[in-house]
A and B are shown apart, each in its own frame.
Chain A
Amino acid sequence: AQSVSQHNHHVILSEAASLELGCNYSYGGTVNLFWYVQYPGQHLQLLLKYFSGDPLVKGIKGFEAEFIKSKFSFNLRKPSVQWSDTAEYFCAVSPYSGGYQKVTFGTGTKLQVIP
């Protein structure tokens, strides 16, 4: 069974600072990887996803993530955060296969951006 580890539970940054949120997964096979975001008072929504191909994927609002297979990592980055990026970020993984693929989530990282 797969698992996801997010090392940072709470991150506080000033506006314009750079962001990197760590995500490591454990699974023996090929995976699909996701970052979801939950803004205050809103529903969880997809930020970006990796299925195959270029390991550097770009998502909405200037976010990107890099899949490093050898490190089982899928870290989320943004060069310059804004106050509006304050949210909770969840990394998720599912096996790369047909049929039902269970999506496993990490515990989330709360990001607080100070103006």
Chain B
Amino acid sequence: AAGVIQSPRHLIKEKRETATLKCYPIPRHDTVYWYQQGPGQDPQFLISFYEKMQSDKGSIPDRFSAQQFSDYHSELNMSSLELGDSALYFCASSLAGTAGNTIYFGEGSWLTVV
């Protein structure tokens, strides 16, 4: 079965640079989520989109922005990168209305800021 696809899988950027992460949800899923997981931490919710509209917002820095496109893929844009932004970024997707709205995660994108 198709899963959530994230790209790139690994990314190295310098401080103050910009990075863009892409996410392709499971086909027919209408909701996309972004999570950030720092070293030794649990995943922290950043933002979610339902039917291309922002549906919820968590602890996402103002330097970050995201959107969901007409084909339901999503992009997370991170500007003025800081060392503390180094983390594993998960994208996840779900289909609203299904039992539990179970959220399925991609394999994550590793961002290293140097």
A binds B: no
Interface residues of A (CB under 8 A from B): none
Interface residues of B (CB under 8 A from A): none
